Structure 1
Amino acid sequence: SAYSHWTHQRICSFGPASKHLICRIQINEPINGFLRSLLSAYVPGPPVTLAPPVQLDNATMGQGVVLVKNGRRICGTGAARANCPVSQDKAYWEVKLQSCGSWGIGLGTVRCDLESPNNLGSDAESWALRDDAAIYHGNQPVAKLPDPVQEGDVIGLTYDHVTLEVFLNGKPMHTPVTGIRGTVFPTFYVDDGAILDCAFAAFAFGPPVGFRELIKEKQLL
């Protein structure tokens, strides 16, 4: 193996007179040939690109919708969906009702009409909790929350590709909705002054056991 020589300078202090002695020490440092060849053959990989966060999608939202707070608050008139579908087995997200009005929260397929003046749950492509505390599909109520939803409340939703469940301020409402088919997105509707804050992470109450925040499909690989 090859050797390189380097000189190390050390300062030594002696006694209260603060006299200094400069010592030069020559040290032989072996360089491993295998490691040197390994380092010379290293080729850096491509730069890591972080996936954009889960938020409301301004590319597909209704024309009357306004998104603020980095795509987490929806106001105006119309509907918007998350920028990724529910791909994992068990997903959870939250919505805080910042201001009352007409609103809908739930799931919609890619065919859900986000430009429609009607609330979510009005057709066969969406399932949604509305401001009257009922869950609609095909414009028919399929479940009713035992408690009303008031301004400032936090609504949690879970979906496991079988059942959509609703939580109110961390309390389960026991109003399961089944029969949901196909690829679906968390979808939101506002009108008449309603404002919703959507949380896909950093939750106020947190997911129930076995569920977690919405994850983009590429991050599941």
Structure 2
Amino acid sequence: MGACCSCFDAITGGKHSGESSQEMTTRNSARGVPPASHGLSRAMSAPTISIQGFKVSGSGLALTRIPVEQDAAYWEIHVSIPGQTAPSGDEDGDLQDVDVNDDGEEDPYAVKFGVATRKDREFYRSLETVEEEGDQASSRDDGTFLMRPISNLRHGDVIGVALQQSDLPMIQILLNGEPLLECIINRFRGTVYPAVYMPAGAGGEGERVDDEGMSLNFVFDEDEFKEMSPHARFGPLLVAQGII
């Protein structure tokens, strides 16, 4: 009877099965395999990007380590520009002086938000070669095809990104809680990562010199969100935990 109970426990996920999973997890820890966690990917981001924790500055493309694998996810990017104060609200508490580039002409200093596919050092070397030859890379070539630009960002602005894989639009971008209809992306394929693109001079004043002014902070913790997602089905981006 004891042997039968042991077999039953293993089949139904009882104590014997649980002990086996624990042993596998312990072995992974002993091998030095770190658990997956949120953060910015140094390997997939441009060499010209500076990464400090969840904060990025500098110029170029920056990708996170964790891909979007769940059906619907939401995350935020908080804008910080030293020397500026957060926009004041009107009587209803809404932010004013929000400016989105919708005149049909692309602002070369507009920061782009959205997602990007996996990148590597070879991608950035190829991009550098194109620029050295005097050519201008298209959005498909520079990694920003699944991103949209927002101009004239202010200190304290909150960019929300809502992604869903089973309905349209697949990617929505919000500015201070308001959806930007001109920034939706209807479809995409493949594995994607939360990403931003910071052009040289973004957040600068006057002649837009390449300064250290603007920084962007990725926020994945729901308790730290400043705005609401567009729908309850958009939960915070989850880290897929698997046993290797």
TM-score (ref. length: structure 2): 0.56
Instruction: Quote the residue 1:171 is aligned against.
Output: 178
Distance change >3 Å, CA 55–CA 121, structure 1 → 2: farther
Alpha-carbon distance in 1 for matches of 2:49, 2:140 = 20
Asked which structure has the greater RCO (Cα within 8 Å, sep 6+), the reply is 2
Answering whether residue 76 of structure 2 is matched by residue 107 of structure 1, we say no
* Structure 2 Cα separation of the partners of residues 76 and 199 of structure 1: 18
Q: Which residue of 1 aligns with 2:70?
A: 88
Higher share in helix: 2
Shift of 1:195: 1.7
The answer to whether the aligner puts 1:151 opposite 2:151 as a matched pair is no
Q: Which runs of 4+ in 1 moved over 4 A?
A: 111-121
Answer whether contact 2:75 2:160 (CA < 8 A) is retained: yes
Tell me how far 1:154 sits from its aligned partner: 0.1
What is the match of residue 51 of structure 1? 35
C-alpha separation in 1, matches of 2:153 and 2:59: 20
Q: Map residues 125-140 of structure 1 onto 2, 5 A cutoff.
A: 125=143, 126-132=145-151
RMSD: 3.3
Instruction: Tell me the equivalent position of 1:216.
Output: 239
TM, length-normalised to structure 1: 0.61
Q: CA deviation at 1:185?
A: 0.9
Check if 1:182 corresponds to 2:187.
no
Preserved CA contact (<8 Å) 2:78 2:218: yes
Letter in 1 for 2:193: F
Distance of aligned partners of 1:114 and 1:171 in 2 relative to their CA distance in 1, 3 Å threshold: farther
Where does structure 2 lack aligned partners over 5 or more consecutive residues? 1-14, 83-108, 202-210
Range with bigger deviation, 58-67 or 46-55: 46-55
Q: Once the two structures are superposed, what CA deviation does each residue of 1:174-216 show, in whole Å capped at 9, x if it has no partner?
A: 3431121211111112231432111111211243311111112
Deviation at 1:173, TM superposition (A): 2.6
Shift in Å, 1:151: 3.1
**Counterpart residue type for residue 131 of structure 1:** I
Instruction: Check 1:214–1:170 CA distance in 2 against 1; reply closer, same or farther (3 A cut).
Output: same
2:56 corresponds in structure 1 to 74
User: Number of matched residues?
Assistant: 162
Distance across 1 between alignment mates of 2:137 and 2:194: 11
User: Helix, strand or coil for the counterpart of 2:241?
Assistant: helix
Q: Distance in 2 between matches of 1:129 and 1:103?
A: 8
- Higher strand share goes to which structure? 1
Moved more, 160-169 or 86-95: 160-169
CA contact (8 A) 2:45 2:119 kept: no
**Paired residue for 1:122, among 128, 132, 139?**
139
Match status 1:195 vs 2:215: yes
Is the radius of gyration larger for structure 1 or structure 2? 1
Alpha-carbon offset, residue 121 of structure 1: 7.5
CA contact (8 A) 1:61 1:79 kept: yes
Identity rate, percent: 22
Residue deviations 1:42-100, cap 9 Å, x none?
A: 897443867343111112211111001x2x11111211101011100001110112139
